[in-house]
Amino acid sequence: MAAARKSAPPRAWQRMLSGRRLDLLDPTPMDIEIEDIAHGLAFVARWNGQTMGDWPYSVAEHSLLVEAIYARLEPKSPPKWRLAALLHDAPEYVIGDMISPVKAAVGPGYGALDDRLTAAIHIRFGLPAAIPVAVKKKIKAADRVSAWMEATQIAGFTMAEADKFFGKPDPALIEGLDIHLRPPKDVREDFTARHNTLLAAI
């Protein structure tokens, strides 16, 4: 009886528009390009697309807001940590944006995948694979402020619900900041430009 033919392992890489072939299970910095990240994030919708308006609120737009909030929280922060804030959700250009309840259901596998991609992205752009805990906490704080703004302005949450889930931000911290709903092309260009400005300042 002939031995059973071994099946080929499942494909774990994705071809990017830049021509790079990114292995999701073993990503390398050399296969990561900012143009791919910006393009992907500009087309990934936050809140599973359940937001008001004629355009989805993209992860790229969210990332620009988080970086702006982080800069207000840490005005003396060096450009490299502001770049880390801009890239805090960068792995979602290939693995998508999962809302927290789905992440909890998927389990630790999602977090491990996210960590590997984050490390490769950081190294690609001159950041440490793992950023300091204190910096990460401040970026997370900025992320929660952004989530509160999004929840109350475009995702249908009441103020009380947003306060409960994300914490009520200091009104002075978000003064003058707005939620933008724009075509992906515009967001992609702004994300890329902001990345290049911060990278050049490191």
Give residue for tokens 């003064």.
175
What residue type is 49 in one-letter code?
G
Helix axes of 79-86 and 184-201: crossing angle, nearest 10 degrees? 150
pLDDT tens for residues 111-127? 888 999 999 999 999 99
pTM higher than 0.75, yes or no?
A: yes
SS3 15: strand
The structural domains of the chain, ordered by start, are 32-201 (1.10.3210.10)
Give residue for tokens 């302005």.
153
What distance in Å separates the CA atoms of residue 180 and residue 58, rounded to the nearest whole number? Answer: 9
Instruction: Report angle CA 195, 196, 200 to the nearest 5 degrees.
Output: 120
What distance in Å separates the CA atoms of residue 52 and residue 55, rounded to the nearest whole number? Answer: 8
pLDDT tens for residues 66-99? 999 999 999 999 999 999 999 999 999 998 877 6
63, 86 in Cβ contact below 8 A? Answer: yes
**The token pair that represents 192 in the structure block:** 């890329």
